[in-house]
Structure 1
Amino acid sequence: MQHDPLLAAYQKSRDDLLSERVAAGHWVGELAASALSTATAISALAIVQRGHPTNTDTGRFADEASESQLSELIVRGLHWLASHQNEDGGWGDTDKSYSNIATTMLVVAAFHLTAHPAGRGDMLERAEAYIKKAGGIAGLRKRYGRDKTFAVPILTNCALAGVVPWSKVSPLPFEAACVPQKWYRFLQLPVVSYAIPALVAIGQTRFHHKPPWFPPLRWLRRMAIEPSLRVLTRMQPASGGFLEATPLTSFVVMSLASMGRINHPVTELGVEFLLRSVLPDGSWPIDANLATWNTTLSLNALAGGGEDISQYECFDWVLGCQYQEEHPFTGAEPGGWGWTDLTGSVPDSDDTPGALLALHAWRNSPGFQPKYLPNVKKAAKAGVTWLLHLQNRDGGWPTFCRGWGNLPFDRSGADLTAHVLRALAAWDTDFPSPALENAVRKGFAHLERAQRPDGHWIPLWFGNQDHPDEENPVYGTAKVLAAYRDWNKIGTLSAERGLKWLVDQQNSDGGWGGGPKKRPSGKPTVVSSVEETALAVEALLAAPEPSPARPALNKGLDWLIAAVEENRHRETSPIGFYFAKLWYYEKLYPIIFTVSALGRAAVALGKIAPANTSSLQSASRWPNP
């Protein structure tokens, strides 16, 4: 039998993906260690340790085991930070990230709070020089603009460490959390929808350490402390981690602890979360895991390659991740999915479409058992309804909450809108309605308005650190083109412009994305990333024949096949940022995206028979070369 490089590469990457399943049958993955998360966790634990109740006779913790555990974690975390300083004196969010002022300021604050000697004598001096060169406080504010979601927490952390005066920390209206949750979007709050816990805890901390001079205002705000704390308590999940995120949870913990609320239930649960989520090397990731997201991405990738995904017995788990009650954090209706099965997850418009697409592929797989159909259709209908209710007036979809368009990460996103449209395409014949038709029409109108003059789209949640604006147009354009493909609109002018833009962005090595790397000669050259190349290849597969995209597609496939042959399909890139410019990478992304692209290519070329035609929608079939 003749060796086929495409099939061999697909089968190898598929086997690698399947090997990453956990015993329960789904995928969990592994998020990158984060200097930002590690610094905030250390600061939180240091302030808790400093304010922990002491034994009056010994001056030591009443629970010496707790003291020992906190001290060990703090020291290990500081050593990890000291070993990951970049050459320019700063820190990036991950070990593959460029330095940025936010993370560097937080690391400096952590060392000041612990009074632990730096690993190198000049470490903090180099860090201070980097901060000064980056513009200091003004540079930090410039990075985040009018969005106070991250700038104020960072400055609060620094103020608690004594490296920034409290006068530089903007007050936050924590009392606004006391109004009914459904009114939040009308208040024009200075933080995004998911940051209400920070609004409460940090707002109270700023008030505690630097109260306003006007007595009546002090009295009024003081009256809101306990009611807003009750709101904070209701929002905290059973795991203790707000959004399962280390930074947000750390900011809340350090704020409450600095006010003497060491024994408050929110503080105690938050500390337990931090103790439980530390990585073996002493660092912290930005989030616990992306299990639901990684699982639905994996299932959809395998289905696109013709696999009978009914054999992967994890669909009860996927169904169990759907929210059946109103969510306490955002007030979201039942029916959506979040990114993880852990309690700190929140339903959103990226994970919900991913789950709906996976359920659709499962329902249409050869081995699907009809006994599951009622539950699948019930879950799908609830998910579709949830998405229809989330659509913004501009026709696009936001991440968590409808109508929060005041700040960047609450606006409609092209990538989110496209993903929702794909889910609606999968289920529109099962649940036809004028509301769904109108939502689709408005959704595509939004995408047409969001398309940039040269043909690309910018995603909301993913970036490329080498892009001038830290954006990832390859990701955004590829995701939008998938929606055009699934709705048989790939021949429209907007889609043609997007395809042409992708072709024009191909790197000289045959891939896409990535960034400059230094060769032995010292001259930089662009090295493509696995994630972005796989996304571009999959998007170009949808181009109708005859197409000028064919040469670019062939080169991209060759690049991706070679990457698998050389085991480079496991190389991660920091292609995403979470919250406001908080970078991460995920161990499974390059493998999943590779499987998805190569599997669809093998089906389109007739090398693999599709498990079901409906899972591929209108993807074109390229003729064999």
Structure 2
Amino acid sequence: MTDRLVVEGMERIIETLKQDQAPNGTWNYPFETGISTDSYMIILLRTLESHDENLIKQLTERILSKQQDNGAWKLFYDEGAGNLTATIDAYYALLYSGYYPKNDKRLQAAKRFILANGGLEKAHMFTKIMLAVTGQHKWPVFFPIPIEVILIPPTFPINFYSFSEYGRANMTPIMILANRKFHIKTKESPDMTDLFVSRDRNFYHTREEEQWRSFYKDVKSSIKKIVGFPQELHRLAINEAKQYMLNRIEPDGTFYGYFSSTFLMIFALLALGYPKNHPTITNAVNGLKSMRTELDGHPHIQYTTATVWNTSLISYALQEAGVSPKDPMIKQANDYLLRRQHVKYGDWVVHNPHAFPGGWGFADVNTIHPDVDDTTASLRSIASEVTLQPNVRGAWERGTLWVLSMQNDDGGWPAFEKNTDSKLIKLLPVEKAEYLLTDPSSADLTGRTLEFLGSSTNLVKTHPAISAGIDWLIQNQEKDGSWYGRWGICYIYGTWAAVTGLRSVRVRSNNSTIKKAVNWLESIQNPDGGWGESCRSDSNNEYVPLKASTLTHTAWALDALISVSEKPTRAIIKGIEFLVKNLDREDWTTDYPKGQGMAGNFYIHYHSYRYIFPLLTLAHYRNKFMEN
């Protein structure tokens, strides 16, 4: 019975994916990140006095559709009463839209929640900056990262390129804005002063300011010795920051393809004197609008698009499920992926100067910042083309060499740039600095890279890159046997990636590291046979059960166990039974975020995951246990 259900389940998923593929070979499943991007879009359009009323009204309707009965907005189902920052974002956007007055009962409920939870003073740093640039919040006396940092040569121990790619993209416009103490209001700007709880409306408390003023002065003094006069220093820093942004605008007009960096860049350009209707600003706004998707009849402005990621993972999963590489679905997907391989150098070359381009990025319009995970995912997908299409070999070799070149000195793999994990950077008084400003080796990236190298190349286990990756995973296993996954939720994700990676490079099932991981996975299996993990795991720095099973978490856990077992265990059988019985499930667990970008503040619901990982796991179950 189970075997038949496995085959039927796979067939249903394959048919769904066939129907959902776009004419250009891609899968454009939404990259959903809550309501903050929708809120910021309203605030941006109102600030620029761009009267796209249809979009603004529709976005307000989506925001309101997500409000809880207590007036708050949540980032995930089991967050508790609500999320203060998301509620501030939503309240401000609804008020600024002009469609809802302060005495609207829904806004009044939101206001009560905000005040009861600390007011605007307790918002996340990004929201405080947004409030500052729109005239609702004071800029601090100083910002902990002076704009002159951008002039420090890369040869210095701490410099601008010590920050991660994502950190530079967001901090560059912030440094311009903070330096100018820029703010802009319009005649439509609401009054948010009644949402402050205390009189202290600065970003940082006095103790923190005093602690970092000396650091600020030391940085400026050091750069002055290199560059010269303070006035010239300041002018050079401003110009360098401006050019950094302008030189990294993607073809769609966005800055690096991210919503947050593009939003901030627009305000930074306004601070530098650009008019609201300047072509660069207009193109940037249009780029953000192009990230629009539809969810439950409402528009949602995505933080970025996940087109390459979705397409590479789906194409690979389909091939694992038995769909021929010659099938039009796969051919079209791989043709798309081959067109998206990067040919230009990006900032990654600063720390990796001897490598050539060859990676893939995450989004559809991504030409300058590839990442390791998308590259290995794309290489898995086109692997079959290397033998079927000899002209693909060059792309394959460039991509594989780029992945190998990106290995950190500690043996693990980062996402975007190698060796950007300075302990000093983490000490800066920037909220979530360890997520925003660093790009360390992680179990998910290292495990998935090892899985690719073991399953799709002919490198031996004793190859220095593989042996170093194995050592990194062994050394970074948690005491309970799990691994933390930086880009997913969370310990189940990291453990799946680590175990499947280690098994792919021939680490034995009876190895103590593998056995500890298996024991942990089996110990957290739910009575219904599935697995589920709360988003609270990342903030708590320990596994927190969701107390409900999800398709994706179950698929990850099962895939790890299947990679280790020679025959179906009781845990595997129960898990497969849960998976096949719930493939069509539609409830809050289906919508629950499975990805993260900044612990406690940024979570991602990948609409593709409910198809990708169950299909991949069922395929691996069938291939290992049903065909032998």
Q: Same fold (TM over 0.5)?
A: yes
Q: Which residue of 1 aligns with 2:281?
A: 267
Using the alignment, how far apart are the partners of 2:60 and 2:621 within structure 1? Answer: 46
1:349 to 2:367 alignment: no
Matched letter for residue 534 of structure 1: A
Q: Which residue of 2 aligns with 1:313?
A: 331
Matched letter for residue 446 of structure 2: T
TM-score by structure 2 length?
A: 0.79
Ranges in structure 1 where 5+ consecutive residues have no aligned partner: 50-66, 142-150, 464-471, 517-523, 608-620
The 5 A counterparts of 1:596-611 are 596-607=616-627
Ranges in structure 2 where 5+ consecutive residues have no aligned partner: 184-212, 221-228, 423-433, 536-544
- DSSP 3-state at the match of 2:582: helix
Matched letter for residue 6 of structure 2: L
- 1:306 and 1:76, CA in 2 relative to 1: closer, same or farther beyond 3 A? closer
| 8 Å contact kept, 1:33–1:283 | no
Q: Tell me the alpha carbon deviations over residues 96-147 of structure 1, each in whole angstroms, 9 at most, x when there is no partner.
A: 9773233223333434555553487243443344334444566446xxxxxx
The 5 A counterparts of 1:90-489 are 90-93=72-75, 99-111=82-94, 113-114=96-97, 116-118=99-101, 121-136=104-119, 139-140=122-123, 151=125, 153-167=126-140, 170=143, 172-178=145-151, 186-187=158-159, 192-209=164-181, 220-257=233-270, 260-261=273-274, 262-280=276-294, 283-311=299-327, 312-314=330-332, 315-327=334-346, 333-343=356-366, 346-363=369-386, 369=388, 372-373=389-390, 375-406=391-422, 407-408=434-435, 409-429=438-458, 437-463=463-489, 472-489=490-507
Match 2:580 to one of 554, 561, 583: 561
Using the alignment, how far apart are the partners of 1:171 and 1:81 within structure 2? Answer: 33
The 5 A counterparts of 1:500-579 are 500-514=519-533, 526-545=547-566, 550-564=569-583, 571-578=590-597
Shift of 1:444: 0.8
Using the alignment, how far apart are the partners of 1:451 and 1:27 within structure 2? Answer: 34
| 8 Å contact kept, 2:321–2:615 | yes
1:82 to 2:64 alignment: yes
Shift of 1:422: 1.7
- 1:124 and 1:88, CA in 2 relative to 1: closer, same or farther beyond 3 A? same
Matched letter for residue 529 of structure 1: T
Using the alignment, how far apart are the partners of 2:268 and 2:123 within structure 1? Answer: 20
- DSSP 3-state at the match of 1:451: coil
| 8 Å contact kept, 1:234–1:328 | no
Shift of 1:157: 0.5
Matched letter for residue 246 of structure 2: T
- 1:308 and 1:275, CA in 2 relative to 1: closer, same or farther beyond 3 A? closer
The farther-off stretch of 37-46 and 241-250 is: 241-250
Using the alignment, how far apart are the partners of 2:96 and 2:346 within structure 1? Answer: 36
- 1:414 and 1:73, CA in 2 relative to 1: closer, same or farther beyond 3 A? same
- 1:556 and 1:120, CA in 2 relative to 1: closer, same or farther beyond 3 A? farther
- 1:161 and 1:356, CA in 2 relative to 1: closer, same or farther beyond 3 A? same
- 1:343 and 1:564, CA in 2 relative to 1: closer, same or farther beyond 3 A? closer
Matched letter for residue 105 of structure 1: I
- 1:90 and 1:247, CA in 2 relative to 1: closer, same or farther beyond 3 A? farther
Q: Tell me the alpha carbon deviations over residues 160-218 of structure 1, each in whole angstroms, 9 at most, x when there is no partner.
A: 333322127735433433556x5698427795422323322221112212799999857
**What is the RMSD computed on CA atoms of the aligned residues?**
3.5
Using the alignment, how far apart are the partners of 1:91 and 1:444 within structure 2? Answer: 42
Using the alignment, how far apart are the partners of 1:169 and 1:535 within structure 2? Answer: 45
Q: Tell me the alpha carbon deviations over residues 549-579 of structure 1, each in whole angstroms, 9 at most, x when there is no partner.
A: 7111000000001013667899332111135
Using the alignment, how far apart are the partners of 2:497 and 2:7 within structure 1? Answer: 24
| 8 Å contact kept, 1:105–1:158 | no
Matched letter for residue 23 of structure 2: A
Identity of aligned residues (%): 23
Q: Which residue of 2 aligns with 1:8?
A: 8
Shift of 1:355: 1.4
| 8 Å contact kept, 1:353–1:420 | yes
The farther-off stretch of 565-574 and 273-282 is: 565-574
- 1:73 and 1:428, CA in 2 relative to 1: closer, same or farther beyond 3 A? closer
| 8 Å contact kept, 1:110–1:161 | no
Matched letter for residue 358 of structure 1: S
| 8 Å contact kept, 2:172–2:245 | yes
Shift of 1:539: 1.3
- DSSP 3-state at the match of 2:463: helix
The farther-off stretch of 577-586 and 210-219 is: 210-219
- 1:474 and 1:184, CA in 2 relative to 1: closer, same or farther beyond 3 A? farther
Matched letter for residue 486 of structure 1: S
The farther-off stretch of 556-565 and 171-180 is: 171-180
Using the alignment, how far apart are the partners of 1:199 and 1:155 within structure 2? Answer: 14
| 8 Å contact kept, 1:33–1:286 | yes
Q: Tell me the alpha carbon deviations over residues 420-441 of structure 1, each in whole angstroms, 9 at most, x when there is no partner.
A: 1122223542x67x9x811111
Shift of 1:243: 3.5
Match 1:585 to one of 592, 600, 605: 605
Using the alignment, how far apart are the partners of 1:404 and 1:275 within structure 2? Answer: 32
Q: Which residue of 2 aligns with 1:41?
A: 41
Shift of 1:494: 0.8
Shift of 1:599: 1.2
| 8 Å contact kept, 1:79–1:119 | no
Shift of 1:482: 0.9
| 8 Å contact kept, 1:293–1:340 | yes
- 1:179 and 1:114, CA in 2 relative to 1: closer, same or farther beyond 3 A? farther
Using the alignment, how far apart are the partners of 1:342 and 1:247 within structure 2? Answer: 16
| 8 Å contact kept, 2:14–2:318 | yes
- 1:512 and 1:530, CA in 2 relative to 1: closer, same or farther beyond 3 A? same
